[in-house]
Structure formats: C-alpha cells, structure tokens
A and B are shown apart, each in its own frame.
Chain A
Amino acid sequence: MDKTADWNTWLAEHGPTMLLLVRQWVAHRADAEDIVQEAFVRFWKSRHRAVDPKAYLYVCAKRYLLEWLRTEQRRGRREQDSAIDRASISTPLFKQLSDREDHRRLEISLGALSTEQREVVILRIWGGLSFPQISEALAIPLNTASSRYRYALATLRKNFVEESIHE
C-alpha cells in the first residue's frame, strides 16, 4: 500500500478546509498553517484509533487550535499583535477564481456570521461532513450543530439578498 499517496490524498482533500476553519480563529495565515501542520501530523499518527477518521481529523484540528490559543493567551501575544492581525485579516480566505461580484458579497455575508455558525457552515459546505460528524468534531450536541447551520444559512440568504438589493 502506498502510504504517501494516502496521506497526500487526505491533505489535498481536507487541508484547505482545515486552514479555512482555523483561520476563523487565527488571523495570521502563517500561524494558521502551523496549526494545520501539527493537527494533521497528530491525526495521521493516531488515526487508527478513530471510529470516524474524517470527523477525527477535524477533532484534531479544533483541539490543537484551542491548545494553541491557550498558549498564546498565556504569552499575552495576542494583544501585542492586534495591529498586525488587523492587517493580515485582509489576506483572502478564498481563491480569487473570478471577479464575480457574487463571491465578494457571499464572503462579506459569511464574515458577518458568528464564529460558531461559520465553523458549522465550513465543515458542512467545504468539509462535506454530516451533522453527526460536525457534532463530534466540534464537541457540540447534534441539535445545536443542525440549528446553527439552519440559522447561518438563513442569515446568509438574508444578507446576500439585501446586499444584492442595495447594489
């Protein structure tokens, strides 16, 4: 069995989504990439223990993200770096495939959601996870996961339509 191809496939399929998820909490792209690296390596070394590897991958990502945030909080670096953070927030989260105005408006609408709602949307839309998997990955009840998604889509739709009307 070609193990290298195996982890390459996993990384190609989930790496961008992991990065997108982590960047909801960490503004610096370099920091977010470090977190994704560490989380992915941890996942790969312990994936045999997982019942659902796909959900477990995002469990690893969220767990290491929280660990990293706690460490950063202790260092007190976040306040110092806030000025830099504001600058790096402008780094795009999505590929600029076209100049379509719809994409820009959707990105703004997505940014207007709460972080918790965005997490669920990211795992559902880009991660392709089912609600039980999202519930496991984010350590939240199943009903909470599905209701967050419902509210998020309703907000997105509303904001998207409103933006369209204003323009």
Chain B
Amino acid sequence: MPQSLNYLKETPSQTAGPYVHIGCTPNFAGIKGVYEQDLGASMVNDKTKGERITIRGSVIDGNGMALKDALVEIWQADSDGLYNSPFETRGTADPNFSGWGRSAGEMDTGEFCFHTIKPGVVPFTDGRPMAPHITFWIVARGINLGLHTRMYFPEENTANQADPVLGRVEHKSRVPTLIAQKDGNDYRFDIHLQGELETVFFDI
C-alpha cells in the first residue's frame, strides 16, 4: 500500500429545493425584518464606471417551461476587466461595482433580471484575451449540482471568434447558446436545461 494522500473530499451538493428564496432572498420571499436587504439585489451605484446594461432571461426546462423557483447568480469583471475579489492580483477593481448579483426571478414568470455594466476584457490562463463575458450559476429544485455557464455579447463578434473558451466548444452549432441576444436596449439570455437548444454548461 502506498501512503495515503489524506485529502478531504468536497462536501457533496444537494438540490437548493423549492424554498431556496427563504435563505437567499428572504425579503423577496416575504420574510421581512431579518435582513435589511436581499444580498446581491444591487450591483451598481451612480459612481460605477462603465456602460450600464440590463440582462433578462429565463431558465427553461425540458418541456419548454420557464422555471419559477430558480435562483440565478452572476459574477463578472468591472469595466477595466478587474474582479472585485481579494484574489484579483492584477490591480484593484472599481470599488463602486460589486461584480456579483443574484436574482430570484419575477414572482409570476420566473424571469431573472440584472442591472449591471458591460465587463471589460480578462486574460485566459495563457494570457490571451477572453471576450467580455459574465459567469452564470443556476440552482433550483431538481438541479442536483449548481450549473455554471457564461454569457457573451452579440456585438463582440470578432472577440467572440477569438475567444479561447468559445473555441473549446466542440460542436460549433452550440456556441450561440452562450451568446445573448440584443433586445432593444437590453440583453436577453435564456438558459435551456435540456433539448435541442441546451445551453453549454461548464465543468470548471
């Protein structure tokens, strides 16, 4: 027998269940007075640098129905491509931009909505630029392990073509599942859990 590696195992995931909003967005769930505000409800203030954008979308199941009990979180760089994180080593991010948002979705439709800014360019592991993108994390009843994906921008065609992550998608017909659609002044990004339009999810 060789020596033991003695590493610990990551705590296994369990579904967020139907009542994730009690814990993560209690004010939205009607539980008032415990927290002043729901965490992640607001990402920007009037001093935040960068182009203001709004992203809306739905999480859609294998029957084409929008989930009404999902919780969606996003994480992104500021307009200079810096993350508001103690593990950002390249500089200090815009202190007026949190980089992280959380949406419980509309009560009736389940549609999520984020008011944020367009992120700057962040380098890939080998130093090449990645096209501007926003990381999404989706949990809900019936999802056993939170799903990671990314949203890219439709007007960044050249950068998207050169993006090292999009370049890793084997079936090119699936790349559009990672690119938002322009919807007036807003972006629309629907996330399909299954089916022909299934979004590319990441094992990262």
On whether the two chains bind one another, the answer is: no
A-side residues, CB < 8 A to B, are: none
- Residues on B lying within 8 angstroms of A by beta carbon are none
